Amino acid sequence: MALTKLDQLYRAVILDHSQSPRRRGELDKATTQIELKNPTCGDVIQVQLALENNTITDVRFDGSGCTISMASASMMTDAILNKTVEEALALSEQFSQVVLGNETEKKRELGDAMMLSGVSKFPARIKCATLSWKALEKALADGGTGVDNQLTHE
């Protein structure tokens, strides 16, 4: 089966984010952080956020996992930087809908994360793609008041 030019572009963007992730590392002045694990494949992600006046002023991630998991985390950091908590949570919901194969009207707001829409064809990869986004949601729960948890993404 030959890849279309669009499929090739999607793969190139995903590989770029995986091999050269944006905002990977530790955030010195994190106001909230969380670690989630995907027990089905062993992926682990830590998300750290700096919140100021209900806005995500900085974000970092670290962890280990597959190409999809690491690329998604990188894409997420691009999408949520300088967004309000409410906007970031809305983007997370939109992303979840996209990887489940459901259309969303605000695709452009997801930026490169839209490139992961093909994950919907591979149900075992959906948890990989959504791990960092679920971590974001949990970190922002209760307004991101300094949560420091280790949770399992099921």
How do residues 72-94 score in pLDDT, each as one tens digit?
Answer: 999 899 999 999 999 999 999 99
Give the residue from 64, 61, 75, 96 showing the smallest Cα distance to 10: 75
Q: What is the percent of the chain with per-residue pLDDT over 90, rounded to a whole number?
A: 30
Range of the domain at 48: 5-152
The structure tokens 């209900």 sit at 54
Whole-number Cα distances in Å, 91 to 86, 103, 115, 129: 9, 13, 14, 14
The rounded distance, in Å, linking the Cα atoms of 45 and 116 is 18
Six-digit token string for 83: 């967004």
The pLDDT confidence band at residue 99, using thresholds 50, 70 and 90, is: confident
Vertex 60: Cα angle to 56 and 65 (nearest 5): 135
Domains of the chain: total: 1
Least confident among 21-25, 46-50, 65-69, 84-88: 21-25
CATH of residue 117's domain is: 3.90.1010.10
Whole-number Cα distances in Å, 86 to 4, 135, 143: 36, 15, 10
**The pTM is what?**
0.82
